[in-house]
Homo-oligomer: A and B are copies of this chain.
């Protein structure tokens, strides 16, 4: 700590003011990002004093008076799914680019939510982005004492902003593609059906099947994971195999592909066509050329960050912001 000789504690704005020979208020103004009235020479002296002392403002103390911490809570179940990788990096980058930082909160289980509420481990963040489906909008607003919670888990009410993919469009495209290729009998591999988003997704598939004259001959429940796809493959790809298998996650489709790889010589389907969901970047790897459904993650993240950058733009009751999904053809279909 060469820049702070004789003190064992970090320099405060008072130290800077003293060294520059001005009042604390002037020092504060000189160091502010906003334009504030300070004479040129004093500003210079303050800036130099700050540099000499290695002064860094205590953003937490600052927040006490300004009522804004520049902190965004991102609430997730866990960071485990392959699709997370594609999303969170963009999200971090975008949020930081508007001058805010991210507190990552991993819920893990419902018990954890209650623990948070009980222990009051709640920061007064500017906004919360909720991917976890363990908490609904009112709960999250209470957790963070903030009305600005962007719900991304399907559990929204109309008091808080919402960004959501329109899964229907991509699903319709994918199923139409299958129909065009002569698919008559389909299998469907789903995730946790307790989730409202998953319910809606399944509804879109059924609807599209009906519209295209495809019969849904078999439904298997998985949990979005590769392993559950593995298991589902044994049930589905038996003697009475459907013409196409649709999965509500790419990971499950990967599991199926690995079990049935012999049915895809040169990655071209023979016995059945395979469709995933998420459009993971992993589907660009040669081993998993899975036709999938996805949306533009950049656009999605931009909408989210818009809400936290311009909180005033949202008015209760406003309809959700919708991001369209599309079909991404690859070798398995």
Contacts and interface: CB of A to CB of B under 8 A. Distances in A.
A101 B125 CA distance: 13
Interface string A109-137: 00000000001111110000000000000
Given A102-B103, A108-B93, A288-B287, A57 B120 contact: yes
A79 B89 contact: yes
Nearest to A99: B121
A138 B259 CA distance: 51
Interface string A161-188: 0000000000000000000000000000
A271 interface: no
Given A79-B89, A124-B10, A285-B226, A101 B99 contact: no
Nearest to A144: B56
A44 interface: no
Contacts of A221: none
A84 interface: yes
Interface residues of A, number: 49
A60 B122 CA distance: 10
Contacts of A288: 287
A63 B92 CA distance: 25
A38 interface: no
Contacts of A61: 64
Contact of A60 (B101, B124, B285): B124
Nearest to A230: B286
Contacts of A102: 103-104
A105 B82 CA distance: 20
A120 B190 CA distance: 47
A106 interface: yes
A254 interface: yes
Contacts of A84: 85
B56 A122 contact: yes
Nearest to A84: B85
A60 B88 CA distance: 25
A105 to B, nearest CB: 7
A10 B125 CA distance: 13
List the 3 closest A-B pairs by CB distance, nearest first. A258-B286, A287-B287, A56-B120
